[in-house]
Chains A and B, each alone.
Chain A
Amino acid sequence: DAGITQSPRYKITETGRQVTLMCHQTWSHSYMFWYRQDLGHGLRLIYYSAAADITDKGEVPDGYVVSRSKTENFPLTLESATRSQTSVYFCASSVTVNYGYTFGSGTRLTVV
Chain B
Amino acid sequence: AQSVTQLGSHVSVSEGALVLLRCNYSSSVPPYLFWYVQYPNQGLQLLLKYTTGATLVKGINGFEAEFKKSETSFHLTKPSAHMSDAAEYFCAVSGGGTSYGKLTFGQGTILTVHP
Residues of A in contact with B (beta carbons under 8 Å apart): 31, 33, 35, 40-45, 48, 50, 58, 90, 92, 94, 96-106
Contact = CB atoms under 8 A, between A and B. Distances in A.
Contacts of B41: 106
Contact of B43 (A42, A44, A99, A104): A104
A24 to B, nearest CB: 14
Nearest to A103: B43
Contact of A90 (B43, B51, B104, B106): B43
A103 B49 contact: no
Interface string B75-93: 0000000000000001000
B102 A105 contact: no
Interface string B5-40: 000000000000000000000000000101010000
Contacts, number: 56
Given A43-B90, A98-B49, A103 B44 contact: yes
Contact of A98 (B32, B36, B42, B45): B32
Interface of B: 32, 34, 36, 41-46, 49, 51, 90, 94, 100-108
A100 B49 contact: yes
Max chain B Cβ within 10 angstroms of own Cβ: one of A42, A45, A99, A106:
A42
B94 A97 contact: yes
